[in-house]
A = this chain, B = another copy of it.
Amino acid sequence: MAIIIKEFKKIKTKNGIFIEGMPGVGNVGLIAASYLVEQLKPEVFAELHTGYFGHAVLIKPNAEIQLLKGTFYYYKNRGKEIVFYIGDQQAISPEKTFDLVNKILSYLKKIGVKTVITLGGIQKGYPTKQRKVYGAVSEEKVKEKFKNLKIDFDNVSKDVGSIIGAVGMLTGYAKYYGLEGLCLLSESFSTPFVPDHKGAKALLEVLEKILEIEIDYSRINKKIKEQESIEEKLSKVPISQPKEEVEEKKLSYLG
């Protein structure tokens, strides 16, 4: 009873593309995937329930209890079929991530998905003007399909090196299910109360080309402006200076 996928409607895609978003660095993957869901308004067709998301529930404004779950959405546009997965949580323990990943992949296989695209962030210690998007793949040949899309496959090993959590495992295990895996990793910088919308937009710009859709960026651009204004304020706070002054005084006291 560890992980249950509850289907509301049977779906069978033909070479469907899978896009997932879950909490993570800067929440870039979750924001990007949720943004697409808001714009494309795909249909909910299944939910994933498990104890691996912890034992909390949320209460909605109408007093309804909202379980922490994963939601699967289906979208079809000009012959292109997309399956979205929005996960409210990552698995609470590393060893359960394996179970979650294999449960999702075997389900994707069953509903005819062909390509698995996962979204994540790479934490930077400072804000960058532009967020570079790195790519990692399930098998080298997959890179061919995603070239000329401003995805950096050349420096990902050197600059990133490893991925922690479901995103990397979903991509890596894809090949064992006969699927192609692409992991998009945006550079990310986030402050405690502001997730990284800039990083999410970088992912959206790549997804726009892959999915051959048109994205209205107005809402996320507004969020980015807010984010930049906070980052600018923070950059002016002289964090280390006062401490140095104190230390200098201490030293002069010794003299």
Contacts and interface: CB of A to CB of B under 8 A. Distances in A.
A101 to B, nearest CB: 8
Contacts of A91: 55
A94 to B, nearest CB: 4
A133 to B, nearest CB: 13
A37 B102 CA distance: 30
B64 A140 contact: yes
Interface of A: 1-2, 6, 49-52, 54-67, 91-99, 102-103, 135-140, 143, 153-154, 156-158, 160-166, 168-169, 171-173, 176, 181, 183
B93 A95 contact: yes
B94 A63 contact: no
Given A59-B157, A157-B59, A64 B94 contact: no
A63 B97 contact: no
Determine chain A's interface SS by DSSP, over half rule.
mixed
| Number of identical monomers bound together in the oligomeric complex | 4
A232 B153 CA distance: 41
A162 B57 contact: yes
Contact of A172 (B66, B103, B162): B66
A249 to B, nearest CB: 16
A139 to B, nearest CB: 6
Contacts of A163: 56-57, 59, 65
Contact of A99 (B1, B64, B156, B158): B1
Nearest to A159: B59
A139 B98 contact: no
A166 B55 contact: yes
A67 B173 contact: yes
